[in-house]
Each structure stands twice: as structure tokens, then as C-alpha cells.
């Protein structure tokens, strides 16, 4: 059982100042699966996602209680360096955020920081990462072009390529397609299916259709609590909680 659990949150509570944003979250995320976090705006799903690679550390007012384990290790333990954790747990943001550098430099940035200097090794990583993000064929002849010059969908795939260039084990995606048109969204979703062979993926989405299309497991968040979690199919056809049913049938949110 524990073999298959990549990330486990236990009694996780988070406050922004006085305001409680997460309440007693218990949640297991399975290895090489896509787990979708759904729920109305402000329900805590993004906040929870950012607990998994300690990006909330950057927010001064945030205070966290409870445990988050990755491969059985408490990532909030005193011996954990968040910088090393983030190499293992990568993140894709809602708004694509390529560096104002060339396509090549965007992807080489992470590996360079982690000490890879050899040009040939970097070339190889850049190609592999761009292929992994299904972007290689579109940009292979213009790697020196600015990453900012790509279309919105391409930029987001560039960000995915950049994230996988440092060889993470987990990819956290915070509404990765919310700013994209349907065709670009479809490409990202297709990509997520391919990526789960290699990575454990946690995706926050406000689109229930997206959650049902891409995920194996779905967790429903509401007002800082994790209401229900289960196989995606079951959550969307016969949820056990009334609040979940109300949300997915569109009665609120």
C-alpha cells in the first residue's frame, strides 16, 4: 500500500495570519497517477498544492501545522532543504512564466543551477525536455528565439519542459490551462496523459470537465476542507457527499 503513495498529507492546517485556509487535510497521492484537486475559488486547493513544494514558505503570514510526506519523509522536517525539495517536486503555474531568455536558456536554466555545465549534456537535456513537453517539433529550428515570443499554449509547454529538465519526480500544476484556448488546452491535457508514465502529477483545476478528462483520482475541496476523495469516475457519477454532488452538478461554485 505505502509503496504506491508518493505524497501523504496528515492533519495539515494552514493559516494566513488569523484566517484559516486549510483545515485538517488528510490526503494521499498515488505514484504515477494524475490527482485532480477541484473546488470553488478560495477553497484552498491552490494553497494545498503550494504546500507540497513549500512555495508557501515565501508568504510571510502563512503558518503551517501538520505533516506532508514525500516518499515517507516529512518535508517540513528541520533537516529538509526546501531548495532540494523543489528539484524533486516541480511546479507549473497558472500564468505561463517563461524567463525573458531564449527557449534554450529557459530550459538550461535549471540544469545549469544544479551544476551541469557541459554543452553537449545541456543540448541533450534541452532536446529531451522539449520532446517530453511535445514542443520540440515546433521550436527545434529556433531555440535561440525568446521564450516570450511563443504563443500562450507553447509558452505553457515551454514551462513544462523547463520543469522536467531538472528531472523531478512530482509535477504540481496550478490551473495550467486556465488562460489557454480549447486547442492549446487539449494539447496540454494530452501531454498530461503522457507525462504520468514518468511523473506523479497533481493538478488544480476549476474545470470539472478537465478534471474528469485527465485525472485518475479527484479530491474535492470546499472552504479549506477536503470533503471527498476517490476515483475520478466515482466522484463524478456517484459522490458520497452531498456537497460534492451539489458542486459537480453546478448548484454552486
Footprint on this chain of another protein (rule: CB under 8 A)? 53, 55, 58, 60, 83-84, 86-87, 90-91, 93, 95, 97-100, 109-110, 113-114, 148, 159, 162-163, 166
Maximum Cα–Cα distance across the chain: 57
What SS3 class is residue 186? Answer: helix
Gap between the Cα atoms of 173 and 162, Å rounded? 13
Q: Identify which of residues 44 and 90 has a Cβ nearer to another protein in the complex.
A: 90
Q: Identify which of residues 82 and 253 has a Cβ nearer to another protein in the complex.
A: 82
Least CB distance to another protein at residue 115 (A): 11
Least CB distance to another protein at residue 249 (A): 35
Gap between the Cα atoms of 205 and 202, Å rounded? 10
Least CB distance to another protein at residue 53 (A): 7
Least CB distance to another protein at residue 23 (A): 25
Gap between the Cα atoms of 112 and 105, Å rounded? 9
Contacts of 81 (CB under 8 A, 6+ apart): none
CA 101 to chain centre: 23
Least CB distance to another protein at residue 172 (A): 8
Least CB distance to another protein at residue 110 (A): 4
Placement of cell 545541456 in the chain = 122
Joined together, the cell numbers standing for residue 253 give 461554485
Gap between the Cα atoms of 125 and 132, Å rounded? 10
What SS3 class is residue 122? Answer: helix
Q: Identify which of residues 72 and 100 has a Cβ nearer to another protein in the complex.
A: 100
Q: Identify which of residues 97 and 198 has a Cβ nearer to another protein in the complex.
A: 97
Length reported for the chain: 253
Q: Identify which of residues 11 and 113 has a Cβ nearer to another protein in the complex.
A: 113
Least CB distance to another protein at residue 60 (A): 6
Q: Which residues pair with 36 in a beta bridge?
A: 203, 218
Name the H helices within 12-118: 45-51, 82-88, 103-113
Q: Identify which of residues 13 and 94 has a Cβ nearer to another protein in the complex.
A: 94
Q: Identify which of residues 14 and 91 has a Cβ nearer to another protein in the complex.
A: 91
Amino acid at each position: 500500500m505505502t509503496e504506491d503513495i508518493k505524497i501523504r498529507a496528515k492533519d495539515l492546517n494552514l493559516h494566513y495570519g488569523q484566517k484559516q485556509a486549510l483545515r485538517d487535510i488528510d490526503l494521499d497521492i498515488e505514484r504515477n497517477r494524475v490527482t485532480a484537486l477541484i473546488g470553488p475559488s478560495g477553497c484552498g486547493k491552490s494553497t494545498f498544492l503550494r504546500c507540497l513544494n513549500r512555495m508557501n514558505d515565501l508568504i510571510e503570514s502563512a503558518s503551517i501545522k501538520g505533516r506532508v510526506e514525500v516518499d515517507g519523509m516529512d518535508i517540513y522536517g528541520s533537516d529538509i532543504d526546501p531548495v532540494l525539495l523543489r528539484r524533486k517536486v516541480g511546479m507549473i503555474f497558472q500564468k505561463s512564466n517563461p524567463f525573458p531568455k531564449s527557449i534554450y536558456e529557459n530550459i538550461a536554466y535549471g540544469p545549469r543551477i544544479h551544476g551541469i555545465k557541459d554543452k553537449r549534456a545541456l543540448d541533450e537535456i534541452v532536446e529531451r525536455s522539449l520532446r517530453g513537453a511535445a514542443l520540440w517539433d515546433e521550436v527545434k529550428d529556433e531555440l535561440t528565439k525568446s521564450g516570450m515570443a511563443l504563443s500562450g499554449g507553447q509558452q505553457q509547454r515551454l514551462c513544462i519542459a523547463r520543469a522536467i529538465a531538472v528531472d523531478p519526480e512530482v509535477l504540481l500544476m496550478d490551473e495550467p490551462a486556465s488562460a489557454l484556448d480549447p486547442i492549446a488546452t487539449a494539447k496540454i491535457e494530452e501531454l498530461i496523459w503522457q507525462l504520468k508514465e514518468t511523473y506523479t502529477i497533481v493538478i488544480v483545476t476549476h474545470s470539472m470537465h478537465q478534471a474528469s478528462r485527465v485525472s485518475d483520482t479527484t479530491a474535492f475541496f470546499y472552504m479549506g476542507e477536503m470533503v471527498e476523495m476517490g476515483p475520478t469516475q466515482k466522484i463524478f457519477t456517484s459522490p458520497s457527499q452531498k456537497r460534492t454532488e451539489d458542486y459537480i452538478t453546478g448548484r454552486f461554485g
